[in-house]
Amino acid sequence: MGRAELTGRDFISTADWSVDEIGTALDVARELKGAFKSGDPHRLLSDRTLFMIFLDLSTRTRNAFEAGMTQLGGHAHFIDANTSQIAHGESPRDMGIILSSYGHGIAIRHDKVPGEGNAYIREVARYSETPVINLQCDEDHPTQQLADLMTIEEVFGTRDLTGMKVCVSWAYAPSYAKPMSVPQGLALLLPRFGADVTIARPPEYRLMSHVMDRARLIATRGGGSITEVDDMDAGFADAQVVYPKSWGAEHLFGNEQEALALNAKYKDWICNHRRMQTAANDAIYMHCLPADRGYEVTDEVIDGEQSVVFQEAENRLHSGKALLALTMGGYATSG
């Protein structure tokens, strides 16, 4: 896959890119990580502008993409939806037309309401003359999942995940109903590289059916599989990657009180030392962060030797830069 061929492409779901194209992004991410570490300039996007629209809070995603654009020689312009005319209902069509006439890329986070974010991002992309990157929607968090796959490859030395059991487990959190996009994004991506993904969740925490139907379809084509269980211990058993995190029950988004009351029925769904011992000997603990310490995971685990969360968070920068450089024309004249 030539790098130039990815110029102008949207990145709204990993499922929209072929395995080869994702492999190209991982190769570029590794190169850019090396350049960043050795201090070599890599101004692939000189004088180019990325508009970043956020309809939700962010630490890693905003700062990785903002720093990433600076390091690539361009500029990331942050738009808080609440202080723009989006708050007055300006349409995604108009945002796509207008912002793409000012710059070279648009990136969007719209993840709080099931049924809305992915449709909004795809509508912006329909009318944008520039590439559109999904910084997390209701269905997927593809820039996070690219960093997750990059981290797994670094740890295990291969991106061929054939035979690897990955446990994506629901975990208890008392804070708020978190999006379903991360577990869904993992199910969409990792089986295409051969992984056997087990989703462990209480019965009420089903993932979005149309997303999981797509994930199961492409899983089999990639040689991996998706299994669902309602027992965290069964999910953890012999897994080489454990990724326990909270998400909201789809029918209770918008009803915070009931959502948190339902969560509270499952306080024992925590990633702790006992559970880590049931995973494979070489198991790693992953989390997109922020984690609810003491609820989703004990300090002992998240700060322990098996945890790769800070490597994973750092890789948001390198993998994000790879996506920016590839889609916004950083390799437009190369092979």
Positions that interact with ligand CP (CB under 6 A): 58-61, 136, 144, 288-289
Query: Minimal distance in Å, beta carbon 288 to ligand CP?
Result: 4
Query: Minimal distance in Å, beta carbon 136 to ligand CP?
Result: 6
Which CB, 12 or 219, lies closer to ligand CP?
A: 12
* Contact (CB, 8 A) for 109 and 55: yes
CA angle (55, 60, 66) in 5-degree steps: 80
Query: Minimal distance in Å, beta carbon 60 to ligand CP?
Result: 4
Which CB, 1 or 289, lies closer to ligand CP?
A: 289
Query: Minimal distance in Å, beta carbon 223 to ligand CP?
Result: 28
Q: Examine residue 41 and say whether the peptide bond preceding it is cis (omega within 30 degrees of 0).
A: no
Which CB, 59 or 158, lies closer to ligand CP?
A: 59
Query: Minimal distance in Å, beta carbon 53 to ligand CP?
Result: 14
Which CB, 100 or 315, lies closer to ligand CP?
A: 315
As given in the structure block, the two tokens for residue 298 are 């004990």
Which CB, 77 or 216, lies closer to ligand CP?
A: 77
Neighbours of 32 (CB within 10 A): 25
Contacts of 281 (CB under 8 A, 6+ apart): none
Residue 301's identity, in one-letter code, is V
Query: Minimal distance in Å, beta carbon 217 to ligand CP?
Result: 26
* 293 vs 315: CA distance, rounded Å: 21
Which CB, 183 or 329, lies closer to ligand CP?
A: 183
Give the E-state strand segments of the chain in sequence order: 49-54, 75-80, 105-110, 132-137, 165-170, 196-200, 225-229, 241-245, 284-285
As given in the structure block, the two tokens for residue 28 are 């570029």
